[in-house]
């Protein structure tokens, strides 16, 4: 789809070299099938490339709030200042639709809590067993991941 939108081979190569190129092209083909003009598709392709690079740097999944924050702080090569609110809106419209279709746009409630992995490890390893809560003197020899946390908090048997 990029070769139909852009004439210069260097531009086509740049768009194809970006992250998630196949899914971005698929999204553009679907938009073309829905009747969008070539000029609109060019703007969408640019927006999707910017969003794809931001999401790639964030690990592949992102919340809408975080995406907006990241897009407000990016710097384009052509200008040294951050994008305007209107530019961010132009990036978000096709970007969020594309991410939603991929399942990469997560809601705030799905975002993992800060210490969720550690808490799951503790409850999976120790559960409610008091054997995992050693005295302070036993911390160095304990194998339980949660025991250090409990002893640092001052819990003893």
* 3-class DSSP state of 62: strand
Please give the structure tokens belonging to residue 76.
Answer: 């384009």
What's the pLDDT tens digit per position in 96-145?
Answer: 999 999 888 888 775 555 566 666 666 665 555 555 544 444 444 444 44
Q: What is the location of CATH 1.10.150 in the chain?
A: 2-110
pLDDT at 28: 92
Q: Is the pLDDT of residue 84 over 60?
A: yes
What pLDDT shows up at residue 122? Answer: 67
- Alpha-carbon gap, residue 38 to 43, rounded angstroms: 9
For 27-83, write each residue's pLDDT tens digit.
Answer: 999 999 999 999 999 999 989 999 999 999 888 889 889 999 888 888 776 667 778
What is the number of other CB atoms lying within 10 angstroms of the CB of residue 17? 9
What letter does residue 115 receive in the DSSP assignment?
T
Fold exhibited by the domain 2-110: DNA polymerase; domain 1 (1.10.150)
Give pLDDT, residue 112.
56
pLDDT of residue 153: 44
User: Do the beta carbons of residue 65 and residue 108 sit within 8 Å?
Assistant: yes
Model confidence at 148: pLDDT above 50: no
CA angle 73, 75, 80 (to 5 degrees): 120
């Amino acid at each position: 789809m990029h070769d139909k939108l852009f004439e210069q081979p260097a531009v086509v190569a740049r768009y194809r070299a970006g992250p998630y190129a196949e899914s971005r092209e698929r999204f553009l083909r679907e938009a073309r099938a829905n009747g969008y003009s070539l000029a609109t598709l060019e703007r969408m392709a640019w927006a999707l490339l910017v969003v794809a690079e931001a999401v790639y740097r964030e690990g592949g999944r992102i919340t809408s709030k975080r995406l907006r924050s990241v897009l407000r702080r990016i710097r384009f090569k052509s200008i040294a200042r951050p994008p305007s609110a209107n530019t961010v809106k132009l990036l978000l419209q096709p970007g969020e639709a594309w991410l939603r279709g991929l399942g990469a746009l997560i809601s705030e409630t799905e975002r993992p809590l800060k210490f969720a992995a550690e808490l799951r490890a503790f409850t999976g390893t120790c559960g409610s067993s008091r054997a995992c809560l050693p005295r302070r003197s036993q911390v160095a020899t304990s194998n339980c991941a949660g025991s250090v946390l409990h002893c640092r908090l001052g819990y003893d048997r």
